Homo-oligomer: A and B are copies of this chain.
Amino acid sequence: MKIATQKFNLRPRGETGRHAAFRTLWPQGRTGSNPVEGTMEKIKIIPLGGAEEIGRNMTIVEYRNDIVIFDAGLQFPEEETPGIDYIIPNTKYLEERKNKIRGLIISHGHLDHIGAIPYLMDKIGNPTIYTTRLTKAMILKRQEEFPHAPMLKIQEIKSGDKIKLGENFKAKFFDITHTIPDAIGTAIETPLGNIIYPGDAKIEHNSKGEPTKIEEYIKLGKEKNLVLLLESTNSEKPGISISEATVCKNLEKIFRESPKRIIIGTFSSQIERIIEIIKIAEKLKRKVAIDGYSMKSNIEIAKKLDLFKPRKETIISVKNIGDYPEEKIIIVCTGAQGEKEASLMRIASHKHSHIKLHSGDTVILSSSIIPGNEKSIQNLKDNLARQGAKIIHYEVADVHASGHAYSEELKLIIKMLKPKFFIPVHGHYFMLKTNSMLAENVGIPKDNIAVPIRNGAIIEVSKDKIQTLKETAPANYVMVDGLGVGDVKEIVLRDRQMLSKDGIFVIIAVIDTKENKIKGSPDIISRGFVYLKESQELLKNARHIVKKIVHESANMRPLNINFLKDNIRERVGKYLFQKTKRRPMVLPVIIEV
C-alpha cells in the first residue's frame, strides 16, 4: 500500500435518505440550463486501477447519469504484500453510484482485464457485461471457481456492433490486434465526442516494415474523437515491436532444425501463438502435447468456439508422448516464468510424472521476463541446462513478441485516431508520462493531455478543456487473500513483513496474583527467530529476565498487567537484540491464576 489515497465521496456530507437517492436517480443538470447543470456538461474519466501498475486495469467514464466501465482486472501480489493472492481495483466510487452503471465492457480475456470480475460484480450491482465470444467463454470458465458469485449477465458483441448504454452513450466496437483472439476496442459516442479505449493493442508490421490491419483505426480517425485512453506498457520501448509473424517464422525454423523433442514454454494466455504452433506442428508432422491446466483449458475453449480446427490426431496427451518417436513430439507447456508448480518447472526439477529431459531435447522459452521473475527464470534455465537440454530464449532469438505497442506504434495509433484529448493508462506513472510525451511528439498540445498522477485521479473533460480535479476517488489496494476480499489491512501486512524478517517470540508467564509471584518457569514459543535447539542459553536467560521483572513487581497492588507486559516486551526484546542483533516480535502473555 504505497500510496495513501483520500477517500472521496461526491455526495455532499450529511445528505442521505430519500432525497439523496432521488438525486442519484435523477441528478440535476440533465437539461443543461443553470450554472450547476453547466458543470455537468463534462465527462469524468477515472482510472480506478492500472494507472500505477501493470495489472488491475479498470477505467470508468461518467457523464450525467450514466457510467460505463472498461475492464475489471487483477494484479499479482508484490513483495510488500506477502501472502496476498491478488490485488483488485477499489470500487468504492462505483458502489456509491451503482444505479448509474450502464455496463462493463471487457476488451479481452487476460486476467489483468477480467480477473477481478468474480470479486466485484456483486458489489457494483452486477451490471451487464459486454464482450466478445472468446472473452465471454473465458469469463464464464473462471466464474465456475466461484460458485457463490452471482450469475453473470453477459451480452456478446463483435466488431461493428453498436449498442446504446443509458441515455448518453453508444458503444461501437472495432477489432484490434493483441496476443489473444477476439480482443476488441471500444469507441463510446457521447454528446461531446467519442471516448476511445483500444484496451491492449499492438500494430503488427509486415516484413517490409509496413503497418497492417489499421483500416479500422483510420476509419475511426475520421470521426469526432474527444479522448483517447491509450495503454502505456511499452511506451519506453523505442521503435516497433517484433511481429508475431516473425516469431512464428523463427519458431518454425527452430522446429525444423531440432533433431529430437521440442519443449516450448509460454504463457497460457498467449492463445494466438499456441494456435500457430499447433498449425506449424501439423505442417511438420509432429504431434503436440499440451501441458498445464490453464493452457489446456484455454485451448479447449478456443477449439470449442471453432477459433481453430486441429486435425483429430494432432493433439495427444502428455501421458502418451512415449508412444511416438522423439523427433515427432512438440510439448507446449506453462511455466516459462519459473512458476513453482507449473509444468516446465516440474520438468526442470525432475518432478514431472511424464516428461523427463533427454540430452538432445530443445527447450524454447517463448516469453519475456515479467519483472520480479528474473530469479525464478534463472533457476529454471540453470536446471534445464544441467540436464543437457539446448535452451533458446528471447534474448538470443526472436521467439517472443510483446502484445503491447512500442513507442512508434503508440504514436501511429494516436496519429490515426486524432483525438482532441489524450489520457495514457495501463502502466506505472513513468510509463504513462513517457506515453504522454509520445502524444506531444505527434502534435497533441500539452494542455490537451492529462496524465493520471495516481489511481483514482478524476479527470474532467469538456468540449475544449481537460483537467484533473483535486478530489480523488478511493483507490487504495483491495487485497484478495483466500476468502477475504479487502479484509487484509495494512497492520496485517506489516505484521507479516515483520514476522518474515526475525520471527516471533511468545512468552507465557503464569502469575499467582495473590502474591504477584510467577508460577514455575515461563513458557517460550518461538518461530523464525533462532534455531531453538542450539539456543538453550538464550532461552534460559530470557526466562530469567521475565522472572526478575515479575519479582520486581511483587509489591505492586493491584498488579498492573499492561505495565508488566510492556516491561517484558521491552527488556526481553532488548536482550535478544543485544545477543543476536535480531528483532523478533516479542509477545508477552500473562495468565493470572
List of B residues within 8 angstroms of A446 by Cβ? none
B372 touches A374 (CB 8 A): yes
| A582 located at the interface, meaning its Cβ lies under 8 Å from any Cβ of chain B in the complex | yes
* Closest Cβ neighbor of A579 among chain B residues: B483
* Closest Cβ neighbor of A391 among chain B residues: B430
B375 touches A501 (CB 8 A): no
State how many angstroms separate the Cβ of A467 from the closest Cβ of chain B. 17
List of B residues within 8 angstroms of A591 by Cβ? 508, 510, 523, 591
Interface residues of A, dominant DSSP: mixed
Considering the chains assembled together, what is the distance between the CA atoms of A586 and B541 in angstroms?
26
Considering the chains assembled together, what is the distance between the CA atoms of A488 and B502 in angstroms?
11
| A191 located at the interface, meaning its Cβ lies under 8 Å from any Cβ of chain B in the complex | no
B382 touches A531 (CB 8 A): no
Known: A382-B428, A430-B385, A589-B525. A503 touches B499 (CB 8 A): yes
Considering the chains assembled together, what is the distance between the CA atoms of A335 and B65 in angstroms?
48
Interface of A toward B, CB cutoff 8 Å? 2, 52, 78-79, 82-83, 236, 238, 371-372, 374-375, 378-379, 381-383, 385-386, 391, 395-396, 428-430, 433, 453, 481-484, 487-489, 491-493, 495-504, 506, 508, 510, 519, 523, 525, 527-531, 534, 579-582, 585, 587, 589, 591, 593
Known: A499-B503, A504-B499. A481 touches B386 (CB 8 A): no
List of B residues within 8 angstroms of A530 by Cβ? 484, 487-488, 492
A382 touches B429 (CB 8 A): yes
* Closest Cβ neighbor of A527 among chain B residues: B495
Considering the chains assembled together, what is the distance between the CA atoms of A593 and B501 in angstroms?
35
A385 touches B510 (CB 8 A): no
A375 touches B385 (CB 8 A): no
State how many angstroms separate the Cβ of A373 from the closest Cβ of chain B. 9
List of B residues within 8 angstroms of A528 by Cβ? 83, 492-493, 495-496, 498-499
**Listed residue (A83, A391, A531) with the most chain B CB atoms within 10 angstroms of its CB:** A83
A529 touches B492 (CB 8 A): yes
List of B residues within 8 angstroms of A527 by Cβ? 495, 499, 504, 585, 587
Considering the chains assembled together, what is the distance between the CA atoms of A326 and B491 in angstroms?
42
Considering the chains assembled together, what is the distance between the CA atoms of A346 and B581 in angstroms?
25
Contact residue among B385, B396, B433 (Cβ-Cβ distance under 8 Å from A429): B385
Considering the chains assembled together, what is the distance between the CA atoms of A525 and B582 in angstroms?
21
Contact residue among B383, B396, B503, B593 (Cβ-Cβ distance under 8 Å from A593): B593
Contact residue among B371, B523, B529 (Cβ-Cβ distance under 8 Å from A378): B371
Considering the chains assembled together, what is the distance between the CA atoms of A428 and B382 in angstroms?
7
B579 touches A502 (CB 8 A): no
Considering the chains assembled together, what is the distance between the CA atoms of A531 and B2 in angstroms?
19
Considering the chains assembled together, what is the distance between the CA atoms of A508 and B428 in angstroms?
46
Considering the chains assembled together, what is the distance between the CA atoms of A318 and B527 in angstroms?
44
* Closest Cβ neighbor of A500 among chain B residues: B500
Considering the chains assembled together, what is the distance between the CA atoms of A20 and B488 in angstroms?
59
Considering the chains assembled together, what is the distance between the CA atoms of A525 and B55 in angstroms?
35
Known: A484-B530, A525-B587. A503 touches B495 (CB 8 A): yes
Known: A375-B372, A429-B385, A508-B589. A580 touches B482 (CB 8 A): yes
List of B residues within 8 angstroms of A386 by Cβ? 429, 453
Known: A386-B429, A481-B582, A581-B483. A531 touches B488 (CB 8 A): yes
Considering the chains assembled together, what is the distance between the CA atoms of A121 and B372 in angstroms?
35
Known: A79-B375, A582-B482, A591-B510. A381 touches B495 (CB 8 A): no
Considering the chains assembled together, what is the distance between the CA atoms of A593 and B2 in angstroms?
48
Considering the chains assembled together, what is the distance between the CA atoms of A211 and B417 in angstroms?
50
Known: A483-B580, A488-B530, A506-B587. 18 other contacts (CB 8 A): A52-B382, A78-B375, A82-B500, A236-B395, A238-B396, A372-B375, A481-B582, A483-B581, A484-B530, A487-B531, A491-B531, A492-B503, A492-B528, A495-B528, A499-B504, A500-B500, A510-B510, A525-B587
State how many angstroms separate the Cβ of A490 from the closest Cβ of chain B. 9
* Closest Cβ neighbor of A80 among chain B residues: B375
* Closest Cβ neighbor of A499 among chain B residues: B499
